[in-house]
Amino acid sequence: MIVRMFVGTSQRVLGIDPGLTRCGYAVLDAHGPSIALVSIGVLRTATDDSLPERLARLHRDLSDLLAEFRPTSVAVEQVFFQVNVRTAMSVGQVSGLALALAHAAGCTVVQYTPNQVKEAVTGWGGAGKEQVQRMVQARLGLTTAPAPADAADAAALAICHLAVGPVHQRLIAAGAPDVHGRARSRRKAGR
Hey, what long-range contacts does 134-138 have (CB within 8 A, 24 or more apart)? 135/1, 135/3
pLDDT tens-digit map of 1-26: 334 444 456 899 999 999 999 999 99
- How do the domains of the chain map onto residue ranges? 11-173
Active-site annotation holder among 29, 48, 77, 119: 77
Is 77 a residue of the active site? Answer: yes
Confidence at residue 96, expressed as pLDDT on a 0 to 100 scale: 96
Active-site annotation holder among 48, 64, 150, 178: 150
Superfamily for 11-173? Ribonuclease H-like superfamily/Ribonuclease H (3.30.420.10)
Closest by Cα among 41, 45, 34 to 14: 41
Q: How confident is the model at residue 33 (pLDDT cuts 50, 70, 90)?
A: confident
pTM: 0.82
Hey, what long-range contacts does 123-131 have (CB within 8 A, 24 or more apart)? 123/1, 123/3, 129/153
